[in-house]
Structure 1
């Protein structure tokens, strides 16, 4: 009887030990799964952080480039403040015609386009002179019509320098003759552009037949001049 009880107790103890071992194994297995899931989540977070770091690096690089561009646009290499970029307030453009007759212009006399239609920036004067208000590249165009049965020469001048020559040959055809030129000039602020008569006692057609125009194509920002 005692032996049977002892045997049953041993069986119970062995069963309990196996059950406890299984419980421990299950807990270990669950812990492993939880650890793997947590590690996977941490790896995902790390990848997200790395992606954010790369984005921040890219933004930082872009910011530095923008700052360098801004500094380059604002200051010269000598540290001087650059002029403002060309904007609405910096528009320079003019258009004028010869409304009133100017008979018998003298040699070297400036041709006056007295009817000013457009004068943005105030560079053109009714004396026939255009004064550049900014450093930059300018475009000028002129069309001249001679008086009847006249031949003549006229020229674009930059300050006192003759730039071009226009020729009219009206007396050969006993009619009016016309000439048109368009030029591009690199000017500094204060440079003067004019159209001058290069022969004496010559006339041009009035009543808006002769046209003169110009505009600032591109303002230069590298000279340190205040615009």
Structure 2
């Protein structure tokens, strides 16, 4: 863009030019030779005026062009100022956007930090709960071991005694004699074992002692046995053909596992009779008790 003089300077220059031209005109007219005719002087004046007019017209055209150029430069400057203002506004908007994004990023960092702190606290709480649960499980296991050891340190109380309240008739081998009148039936393990309906079921592993006394009916002959599950252990033969009553007893010591059974059964086929109670006193009976359990251990102190 070309630089230009201020308008007032241009006007002063033009006025000065006109004055100079007038001075030149007067000099030419007044300084003409006396020999020059009036026509020559007039002609010279006309030529001079023509030249001045052309020069003034040229200066006027130049001034018009300069004003156009100045106006164009002014418009260009206005457009540039608008463009600079738009760029300034755009920069302000971008700075606002960047500031908002920065604020959002700061808030997100705060939120992430809070979530991280919350997760750390939760992990601490879970770890504390896990340690507390482990400690509680240790205490519970210790307590269970103490309870179990104290229970095993003493043999449980297991014993029974039952007799026949009435005469019993049996006719086939393996028939269980049911001693229906139960006098004693102790099982401190509170299990489903013990004595029931002629069968004793061992509640725990151990050494047991069993005893039976059988009285044969008058004039009968029979044979019975103490059975360990389905295997006879000892046999009792009752022969009262020539006697009114005849009785026999047997004692056995058995090592039983939990769930194994002991009973008194008929050991041969045939018609057999056993005497029941007399005046509520048992004559045909079956009893047993735990002598020693296999799992007894020394108690834990404390």
Q: TM-score range by the shorter chain?
A: 0.5 to 0.7
CA shift, 1:82, in A, is 6.7
Measure the CA separation in 1 of the matches of 2:276 and 2:234: 23
* Greater length-normalized contact order (CA 8 Å, ≥ 6 residues apart): 1
CA deviation after TM superposition for structure 1 residue 108, in Å: 1.4
Residue 253 (structure 2) pairs with residue 187 (structure 1): no
Between structures 1 and 2, the one with greater helix share? 2
- 1:132 corresponding residue in structure 2: 202
Match of residue 114 from structure 2:
none
Look up the SS of the partner of 1:196 in the other structure: strand
Deviates more, 1:210-219 or 1:95-104: 95-104
- Structure 2 partner of 1:38: none
Q: Does 1:117 align with 2:193?
A: no
Are residue 106 (structure 1) and residue 165 (structure 2) matched?
A: no
CA distance in 2, matches of 1:159, 1:124: 14
Unaligned runs of 5+ in 2: 1-144, 188-192, 298-302
Shift in CA distance, 107/86, structure 1 to aligned 2, threshold 3 Å: farther
User: Structure 1 residue 101: deviation in Å?
Assistant: 2.2
Supply the distance in 2 between the matched residues of 1:131 and 1:159 (Cα, whole angstroms): 9
Return structure 1 stretches of 4+ with deviation > 4 angstroms: none
Query: For the residues of structure 2 that align with 1:221 and 1:182, how far apart are their CA atoms?
Result: 24
Post-superposition shift, 1:97?
A: 0.5
Question: Structure 2: how far apart are the matches of 1:96 and 1:209?
Answer: 10
Q: What's the counterpart of residue 244 of structure 2?
A: 175
- The answer on whether the counterparts of 1:83 and 1:221 sit within 8 Å (CA) in structure 2 is no
Q: Deviations over 1:64-85 (max 9, x none)?
A: xxxxxxxxxx79xxxxx87932
Correspondence for 1:211: 285
Deviation at 1:222, TM superposition (A): 7.4
CA deviations over 1:86-105 (Å, ceiling 9, x no partner): 548x2000000100222244
Match of 2:211 in 1: 141
TM-score by length of 1: 0.58
* 2:151 equivalent among 55, 65, 84: 84
The Cα offsets for residues 6-38 of structure 1, whole Å up to 9 and x where unpaired, read as xxxxxxxxxxxxxxxxxxxxxxxxxxxxxxxxx
Write the mapping of 1:61-72 to structure 2, written as runs, cut at 5 A. none
CA RMSD of aligned residues (A): 2.3
Deviation, 1:221, is 1.0
Cα separation, 1, equivalents of 2:224 and 2:251:
14
TM-score in terms of structure 2 length: 0.44
Q: Is the 8 A contact 1:92 1:216 kept in 2?
A: yes
Query: 1-side partners of 2:150 and 2:217: how far apart?
Result: 45
Deviations 1:118-140 (A, max 9, x none): 00016000x20000000000000
Q: Which has the larger radius of gyration?
A: 2
Change (3 A) 1:185 1:101: same
Residues matched between the structures, number: 142
